[in-house]
Amino acid sequence: MEHKPTIATVARHAGVAVSTVSRYLNGRYVSRAAKARIADAIALLGYAPSWTARNLSIGRKGCIGVIVDTSDDPWFNQILAGIEEELSTRDTSLMLSSLELRGQYDPRIVFEWIRGRRVDGLIIAKSQRRERPLLHAALKAQLPIVTVAPDEAVTRVHVVRCDNIGGGAAVANHLVELGHRHIVFAGGPQHSLDSKHRLRGLTEGLAQHAIRLDSKAVFCCESYEASAGAEFGRTFLDAPFGATALVMGNDALALGFMRVARQRGVRVPRDLSIVGFDDVPVGALMWPGLTTVAQPMREMGRAACRRLFEAIAAPGLLETIEYPVSLVVRESTARPRPRK
């Protein structure tokens, strides 16, 4: 019966100390010559390290938790893809929790993670006011936390976000250059930090061109889901509208609105130009394609994962990472029709 090779076996074959092999396996400094001998010994012996034992020895679980409202969110799917890409380079697993898995808010699973120390840290996507108890519990348990695009101001956690104010300003410049002067904004929920920042950028950008965005031209939707955009569309299109351009709080809202607009015979962009935010893949597949403000979502996911591992390894100063955004112009925006 063959014995499974151990780290000591690798050390003997490589002619180095066990501690040197340990440093090699943990990605720490080892001389080039020793590194080559260790790699050859591992290949010859077919050695596979026991990551469970390693994690136990340093007091870790070898797992991180990722939390989101719902995994159906196309924005989150891109964030998650970035997290997975980063995890593929590490020997760590992932536990996922949708807080609205069955259509009703239920954070109990995450509280169980925290109480049982089942994860080494948390990534929370779009945290909002109702997540405050989760944040408080995790901080009390001294679990590192990274929030991605938090929808309210947060403290004592790491933050990865994008420049929403700059995105709103870019939309304003684009619409003004096309000749639009009558613009409406419909964001997500009233408390949403993203909506506030996108509206602020739009308002300030329009002001640079001496255009005032009237408060009567600003609306809030109940959520960021396509169904909320469709509901807004039914209300908005029931009455005559003087706007030539509509800026929606995200792509899902915009796509929901565009579906209703098509049903009502409103031609986009001939009758109404529409802009979204995020640049989720489906926006490029629709016709007309959706003009939008692109977030580097996958890179934001990778950055959140890297930051979490850094915080797990060496807790220290909190960091906020803000990514620039870019305007992606497609067919849903055009010059407004001349008014009769």
Rounded to an integer, what distance in angstroms lies between the CA atom of residue 291 and that of residue 278?
10
State residue 56's pLDDT score.
46
Confidence of residue 339 (pLDDT cuts 50, 70, 90): low
Domain region containing 218: 164-295
Task: Tell me: pLDDT of 28 over 80.
Answer: no
Q: Is the pLDDT confidence value at 49 over 70?
A: no
Mean pLDDT (the chain, rounded): 91
Token digits for 259?
A: 């579906």
| Better pLDDT: 2 or 337 | 337
> What is the pLDDT at residue 2?
53
Asked if the structure places residue 178 within a domain, the reply is yes
**DSSP state at residue 315:** -
CB 121 within 8 A of CB 143: yes
209 inside domain: yes
Residues 179 and 281 in one domain: yes
Inform me whether the pLDDT recorded for 45 exceeds 90: no
Residue 240 identity (one-letter amino acid): P
User: Would you state the structure tokens that stand for residue 25, as one six-digit string?
Assistant: 């396996």
Compare 36 and 328 and report the one with higher pLDDT.
328
* 224 and 205 part of one domain: yes
Co-location of 144 and 183 in the same domain: no
| C-alpha distances out from residue 173 to 61, 119, 170, 291, Å | 49, 45, 5, 13
Torsion of CA 239, 245, 250, 253, to 10 degrees: 30
pTM greater than 0.75 (yes/no):
yes
* Residue 289 forms part of a structural domain: yes
Q: Are residues 275 and 168 in the same domain?
A: yes
Q: Are residues 187 and 218 in the same domain?
A: yes
Indicate whether 339 belongs to any domain: no
Please check the confidence at residue 219 and state whether its pLDDT lies above 60: yes
What is the arithmetic mean of pLDDT over 50-57?
52
- Rounded to whole angstroms, what are the CA distances from 123 to 15, 84, 116, 317? 42, 12, 17, 17
What CATH number does the domain containing 82 carry? Answer: 3.40.50.2300
Q: Are residues 224 and 281 in the same domain?
A: yes
Could you tell me if residue 98 is inside a domain?
yes
Q: Do residues 47 and 5 lie in contact, with contact meaning Cβ atoms separated by under 8 Å?
A: yes
- How far apart CA 175 and CA 95 sit, in angstroms, is 42
Shared domain check, 158 and 84 = yes
Residues 172 and 265 in one domain: yes
CA-to-CA distance for 311 and 157, rounded, in angstroms? 10
Give me the half-sphere count of Cα atoms (radius 13 Å) on the Cβ side of residue 152. Answer: 10
Q: Residue 214 corresponds to which amino acid? A: D
Could you tell me if 175 and 272 lie in one domain? yes
Asked whether residue 230 falls in the same domain as residue 273, the answer is yes
Whether residue 2 lies inside any domain: the answer is no
Within the chain, residue ranges assigned H as helices are: 7-14, 18-25, 32-45, 51-57, 74-87, 108-115, 132-140, 164-178, 193-207, 226-238, 251-263, 282-285, 297-313
As for how many domains the chain has, the answer is: 3
- The mean-pLDDT minimum among 11-25, 168-182, 235-249 falls in 11-25
Q: SS3 for 294?
A: strand
pLDDT at 5: 83
Closest of 86, 138, 113, 73 to residue 304, by C-alpha:
86
Q: Is residue 1 part of a domain?
A: no
What is the pLDDT at residue 4?
78
d(CA 162, CA 279): 13
Q: What is the share, in percent, of the chain residues with pLDDT greater than 90?
A: 72
- Cα–Cα distance for residue pair 201/81, rounded to 1 Å: 28
141 shares a domain with 199: no
Is the pLDDT at 58 greater than 50? The verdict is no
Q: What is the mean pLDDT of residues 95-106?
A: 91
Calculate ∠ Cα 146-152-158, nearest 5°. 20
Q: Percentage of residues in the chain with pLDDT exceeding 70?
A: 94
Establish if 55 belongs to a structural domain.
no
Using only C-alpha atoms, what is the Rg of the chain? 25
- Which pLDDT score is estimated for 21? 83
Q: How far is CA 73 from CA 35, 126, 147, 225, in A?
A: 44, 11, 16, 8
> Is the predicted pLDDT of residue 25 greater than 50, yes or no?
yes
* Angle separating helix axes 7-14 and 18-25, nearest 10 degrees: 110
Looking at the fold, whether 175 and 99 belong to one and the same domain comes out as: no
* Band of pLDDT at residue 1, cut at 50, 70 and 90: very low
